[in-house]
Structure 1
Amino acid sequence: MSNDSTAVPSTTRELRSTVTDDGAVTLAVSEAEVAAPGPDEVVVRIQAAPINPSDLGMLFAGADMSTATASGTAELPAVTATIPSGTAGLGGRVGIPMPTGNEGGGTVVAAGESEAAQALLGKVVGFISGSSYAEYRTLNVASCLPMHDGTDPEDAAACFVNPLTALGMVETMRAEGHTGLVHTVGASNLGQMLNRICLADDVPLVNIVRKAAHVELLTGQGAKHVVDSSADSFNDDLVDALRATGATIAFDAIGGGELAGTILAAMEKVASEGDEFSRYGSDTHKQVYIYGGLDRSPTTLNRNFGMSWSIGGWLLTPFLMKAGQAKSDELRTRVADEITTTFASQYGMRLTLDDAVDPEQAKRYAKMATGDKALITP
């Protein structure tokens, strides 16, 4: 093992989430050992790690954050909240302190003996781990994405989940034979990345947002088609945007409610224009992928969009496995090359590990409000 001048401690502070059999969840600062790196491993001093919507399930297990209260000790503080559904569906994690945090960025301070590990020593890397809310982590080199010299670790912190998801959406669109796409929560960090990708790659994109201010935000960034789901004219605006773009595939982060069905109905309206009536609808295949659950209510489909349609789930990891190593490497390279431009992220708050278990801070970042994304800086 080789080190740089930074001493690697024997222990690290980290965040662990534990569901208890009384239907509560506790997110706590705890201590753990820092494992010495194996031949193909490195130790990363973590300097930043974002809280993405996909992190909330592991952090709080669907808890009602209005019930959040302080717990733990002064040295190892914690926050506890009640899970309305109890432990239903959570049996596999009851009583087990689970690591948290899907991705992060930092500096490699120790490396194993392999050539690949040694090449990362002293480098700023982004990484994916499932345990990024910590001060130090020992990681396989395959989990790390080396950044160009001079990259700020905060920029590297969000180089996996949102960038590769946005790129994956465009790749999925192409692979399945569509020529334009729809994205909900268009004003989110991911949505803004997707807008920049689509502008650069000349991909027709319909952005769905929830506020008039978000329309202004995206149009100010060059978006050509932005529709506000809170507007009285939403359905007509959506149809107009779909007619202009020819989009027949959508990626929905909302999940619950009627939005997915509304998108399918609008696609069918455009697809069937000028056709003779058919009880089965148009022959144009319409696809909605749900990739998030900002609305946890049931997904409601009013069957007014013919029979040529599909709705399903979409996740990044299965996409990358299907795409193969060469395509994954190509996408990762693009992310590293454009990490401060196309794939730049903005944050509304920066939190220490102790801040992250403060009940008021937890209530705030759990809302996942647009423009208020949290970054943990251990």
Structure 2
Amino acid sequence: MDEQEVGVADDKTKTTGLELRSLIKSGGELEVSLQEVAIPTPGADQVLVRVEATPINPSDLGLLFGAADLTTLKASGSPDRPVLTATVPPSALKALAGRLDQSMPVGNEGAGTVIKAGNAVAAQSLLGKTVAMIGGAMYAQYRLIKASDCLLLPIGTTAAEGASAFINPLTALGMVETMRREGHKALVHTAAASNLGQMLLKICLKDGIDLVAIVRSAQQAKLLREQGAKHVCDSSAADFLEQLTQALSDTGATIAFDAIGGGPLAGQILTCMEAVASRSAKVYSRYGSSVYKQVYIYGSLDPRPIEFTRAAGMCWGAGGWLLFNFLQKIGAADAAKLRQRVASELKTTFASHYSRVVSLPQALALDTIAAYTKRATGEKFLIDPNRG
């Protein structure tokens, strides 16, 4: 009996498991802890999954730490049951009103082994199988979930390989699908050397789509060029705007997805798009070109306000883009097609690489938190909740 089989056998005798919880109190204090919770029994269309891998994504950090000042973070408790506390600035509490004094589970996605299943055919078909999941509360040893929210992983695929099968892959595919549905022919992506950015590059290379990749260092630019990227712009370079304008001219990209959020970058992209469009304008207009330009903000690596100049003409748009809203918009059938592509290319196009695997208690160690909150390129953490 291998280690996984021993673990599953032990699960059948357990009645409780650990779950990571985040609580922001109305008095302005964050508390993150591990709690013992009852292991639920599956309903007819549900399965109980022993969670064996769940990534720490940037989108998880907002729920995990809220708007807490991490310079005030303190640890107490014991090594196997750490408790973290930090101060939440009074100015941030109003925006957090919906979650105050509520202990909330964390973790958008994960993967593991189905150890119990309801009597529905769809649930029973997953019993004993390795599945990927989406739906929150994944930073836990066990997760009760609908069978329809699981993705059956191909035989030979580990939980670690399937743990990031939803957020980054479907976001990258969603960007390409949005580009196509809105009538654009090429796209721009910022923070393009990220795990997600490298997935998007692979999709674009495979599907023959021109991509303008914006990065923040010469090292990141080199990394993407070595992977086949043709149009890479380094925002730290003195001639960045010239690089960007030329890349937009070469590709004809008129839609961008921005992970940075704050600062001038989104506005600079629109301005450079307008400069390219104006070059080919046959008739002068004081309102700028008639070429529609779109920037979607989908991240907030820079928390500052977004800065726009008035140099993009009058034919442009800017707004937010969220994966879950996109999937709801396209409907279950089209979303299922995207999920199937992820499953079939999980070890190639959508492969994720992790710099470190930690247990639930280790995920709450101060030095570990300092590492994964830096959001450094090439540093992606994976939690194994059942690691002991």
**Partner SS state of residue 27, structure 1:** strand
Letter in 2 for 1:213: Q
In structure 2, distance between residues paired with 1:361 and 1:279: 54
Other structure's SS at 2:357 match: strand
Q: Offset at 1:21?
A: 2.1
Count of residue pairs the alignment pairs up: 376
> For the residues of structure 2 that align with 1:24 and 1:365, how far apart are their CA atoms?
21
SS at match of 2:19: strand
2:164 counterpart of 1:158: yes
Alignment correspondent of 1:300: 307
Matched, 1:349 2:353: no
Change (3 A) 1:234 1:348: same
1:87 shift after superposition: 1.5
Separation in structure 1 between the aligned mates of residue 301 and residue 19 of structure 2, nearest angstrom: 26
Unaligned runs of 5+ in 1: none
Offset of residue 56 of structure 1: 0.8
1:359 maps to 2:366: yes
Query: Once superposed, which parts of structure 1, at least 4 consecutive aligned residues long, lie more than 3 Å away?
Result: 3-6, 72-75
Alignment of 1:56-135 (within 5 A): 56-84=61-89, 85-135=91-141
Counterpart of 1:231, as a letter, is A
The amino acid that maps onto 2:54 is A
Aligned to 1:176: 182
- Which residue is equivalent to 1:246? 252
Equivalent of residue 268 in structure 2, options 262, 272, 290: 262
Separation in structure 1 between the aligned mates of residue 74 and residue 296 of structure 2, nearest angstrom: 36
CA distance in structure 2 between the partners assigned to 1:181 and 1:324 by the alignment: 23
Distance in 2 (CA, whole Å) between partners of 1:67 and 1:365 is 17
TM value normalised by structure 1: 0.97
Contact 1:8/1:109 (8 A) holds in 2: no
Which of residues 3, 6, 23 in structure 2 aligns to 1:18? Answer: 23
Asked whether the equivalents of residues 66 and 363 of structure 1 are also in contact (C-alpha less than 8 Å), the reply is: no
- Aligned-residue sequence identity (percent) comes to 53
- Alpha-carbon distance, 1:274 to partner: 3.3
Letter paired with 1:56: L
Paired residue type of 2:293:
K
TM-score, reference length from structure 2: 0.94
**Most deviating of 227-236 and 270-279:** 270-279
Q: Is the 8 A contact 1:29 1:357 kept in 2?
A: no
- Worse-matched range after superposition: 160-169 or 322-331: 322-331
Q: Which amino acid aligns with 1:355?
A: Q
Is 1:40 equivalent to 2:39 in the alignment? no
Superposed CA offset, 1:24-45 (max 9, x none): 2121111111110001000111
Structure 2 portions without partners, runs of 5+: 1-7
CA deviations 1:249-281 (Å, max 9, x no partner) are 000011100100000001000011032432100
Name the CA shift for 1:251/1:8 in 2 (closer, same or farther; >3 Å).
farther
The answer to whether structure 1 residue 30 and structure 2 residue 29 are counterparts is no
8 Å contact 1:18–1:95 — kept in the other structure?
A: yes
Contact 1:65 1:363 in 2 (8 A): no
Deviates more, 1:7-16 or 1:229-238: 7-16
CA contact (8 A) 2:257 2:296 kept: yes
Specify which of 229, 234, 237 is matched with residue 235 of structure 2. Answer: 229
> Which residue in the other structure is 1:144 paired with?
150
Q: Deviations over 1:261-309 (max 9, x none)?
A: 0000010000110324321000000000001111111011011110000
The answer to whether the Cα contact below 8 Å between 2:130 and 2:158 also exists between their aligned partners in 1 is yes
Distance 1:74 1:217, change over 3 A: closer
Q: Partners of 2:285 and 2:77 in 1: how far apart?
A: 64
Q: Return the offset for 1:350.
A: 1.6
Return the match for 2:382 from 346, 350, 375.
375
CA contact (8 A) 2:79 2:361 kept: no
Aligned partners of 2:10 and 2:120: how far apart in 1?
20
- Whichever residue aligns with residue 69 of structure 2, its letter is D
Look up the SS of the partner of 1:90 in the other structure.
Answer: helix
Structure 2: distance between partners of 1:72 and 1:368: 27
- The two structures, once aligned, show a CA RMSD in angstroms of 1.4
Distance between the aligned counterparts of 1:236 and 1:74, measured in 2? 52
In 1: Cα distance, 2:68 partner to 2:372 partner: 13
Are 1:340 and 2:347 matched, yes or no? yes
Q: Per-residue deviation at 1:8?
A: 5.7
Kept in 2, the 8 Å contact 1:126–1:147? The answer is yes
What residue identity is the alignment partner of 1:172? T
Distance 2:176 2:77 in 1: 44
Distance 1:185 1:355, change over 3 A: same
Provide the rounded CA distance (Å) in 1 between the counterparts of 2:211 and 2:72.
39
* Offset, 1:74: 4.7
1:321 matches 2:328:
yes
Following the alignment from structure 2 to structure 1, what is the Cα–Cα distance between the partners of residues 308 and 83? 41
- Find out whether 1:279 has 2:286 as its counterpart: yes
- Relative distance call for 1:93 and 1:354 in structure 2 (3 A) is same
8 A contact 1:22–1:86 mirrored in 2: no
Counterpart Cα distance in 2 of 1:316 and 1:29: 28
Distance (Å, rounded) in 2 between the aligned partners of 1:7 and 1:113: 17
